[in-house]
Structure formats: C-alpha cells, structure tokens
Chain A
C-alpha cells in the first residue's frame, strides 16, 4: 500500500472578517513592512494514511464535518506521496 499525506489548508472565507489577519497586518505595518496590504490567516493539517480508492471522499467528509466549518471557512487539499 502506498503511503500518502493529505495536507488540508483551512481558511476563513474572503467575506468573513479575519481579525487575527488584520492585527498581524497592523503589526507588520508598525514594524516597517509597509509593502504588504491585507493579511489573511488560516491553519493546516497533515493527515497520513495508506492510499485507497475512496480516500478523496473520506477526506472531503472529514473536512466538512470536522476540520472546517462551512459557514465561515473553506478548505483545500493537497496530496503528497
């Protein structure tokens, strides 16, 4: 069985206010990094498992049920062998 790693990136939707990102942007500006406009924050997860045919569906399930809240967040999955 081939070992794979799914990297799941979860972030707030564009229309949802991201106070953390905003505060980080403000700190960057105060530090003199004025060339960066907006900052959006997020988090990522690494899921390791053996590859199997239904894997993509299983990952989508866990992403919508647990790892992200579809009301406020979106996710993106990257597969690494």
Chain B
C-alpha cells in the first residue's frame, strides 16, 4: 500500500511520517508538495505535524487553503483514508473534515511528553491491531491541543463512537492528571462519522521503534496495513 505525506511550508514531522511508512513499515511512501493537486494514487494521506504557515491566524487556518487540500477533501469525501497528526489534526478541523476546534492548552505551556492513550474502539481501520486492555504510549508536542466543541456536538461524537483515543494513565484509565492540555472529554483523537478520517494530537510516527522510547505507534500504522492488505489490490 502507499502512504502520501503532505508537506506544507512549516511542516516538520513529514520526514518522520515518511520514514515510518517507508522504512519501518516497508510500504510505498511519497512526499506530496502542498501546491500539488494530485495525491499520486496514495491509499492513505498523512497530514503531518509542524507549524504550517507559522501557525499564523490560527493553527491550520491557512494550510487548509493550500491547493492540495481541495484534492484531500475530495478524496476523504469519497471514502479515502486520511490521518491528520497534530498540526494535521488542526488542519482537518479548520477545513471541516472533522468537527470542533483545538484551542490553546489550558495551562498555556507547550506540552512535550509521553502520554498514554486509551483506545476507545478496536473495530476501526486505525485500531484493529491495537492490543486490547492496554494503553498506547505515544508522545505529544503541542501548544494548541485543547479540544473544544459544543456540548451537543460532543454528545454526538460520543454517541456515534467518533472518539477514538482519550488521554489516560499508564493503566489505561482516564484519571485526574492524565489529561495534558484541558481537552474536553479527555479527547486525544477523533474520526469523522464514516470512520475514514482520523485526527489526533499525539504523534504515532514518533513512536515506531523501541529506540525512540516506544513503538506503540506501530499498532496504528499496522492496523492500516492490515486493512489495505485485505483489500483487493488496485487495478492498473
């Protein structure tokens, strides 16, 4: 399968994502320049972390108008798989593929540390290979990671099973002190209603080898590889 990694001006996790896909997972991977309008036949599009357009105005607010985003939105609306990580999550919210907004961390500090994520649903294409009853140890690095939405929309997210990852403690329990940024409902990652678009603040691409401190991020990528291997190969 093929991962397409979008590079915006100011992206800085694009190489991490590319390296994880190409060398750790041994899959095809290609960088996609933000001015391109083609997704180069990718199966999965990754919007990587970083500070696209210097985070001017609001995080992700300018990047969503990059030419490639038209193609990404069209791809996602047709069922294509898209993952936005950190700044990529912010871009997905700004362009409306995911609901809500990310505001400044409640304590105002940049948060850079390992977090434990509770996997709320193991039946999705992003989590089928995640171990049950065990949190994922994956790092965060952000200043604007505080998920916000209207109460009614939060209820919808919950009822539709769109909350995929929540911040938890090392035992996988949502507890006092395990939420690093003030996110409502401890939200670390959500999907769209159809389940083909994922946005998450933690960085799975930075946790793909033991030497990096954790390889729990592999569970997410392996879930996708499993999903696409089961699917018949692309024609042509």
Contact = CB atoms under 8 A, between A and B. Distances in A.
Interface of A: 12, 16-17, 19-20, 23, 66-67, 69, 71-72
Nearest to B182: A17
A19 B61 CA distance: 20
Contact of A69 (B101, B107, B150): B101
B103 interface: yes
B101 A19 contact: no
Interface string B55-71: 00110010001000000
Contacts of A17: 103, 106, 146, 148, 182
Q: Is the interface of B mostly helix, strand, loop or mixed?
A: loop
Nearest to A65: B65
B108 interface: yes
Contacts of B105: 19
Chain B interface: which size bin?
20 to 34
A11 to B, nearest CB: 13
B186 interface: no
* Chain A at the B interface: SS class: mixed
B79 to A, nearest CB: 25
**6 closest residue pairs by CB, A with B:** A71-B101, A72-B101, A19-B108, A19-B104, A69-B101, A19-B106
B108 A16 contact: no
Contact of A16 (B65, B93, B103, B107): B103
B108 A69 contact: no
13 contacts: A12-B103, A16-B103, A16-B148, A17-B103, A17-B106, A17-B182, A19-B103, A19-B105, A19-B108, A20-B108, A69-B61, A71-B100, A71-B149
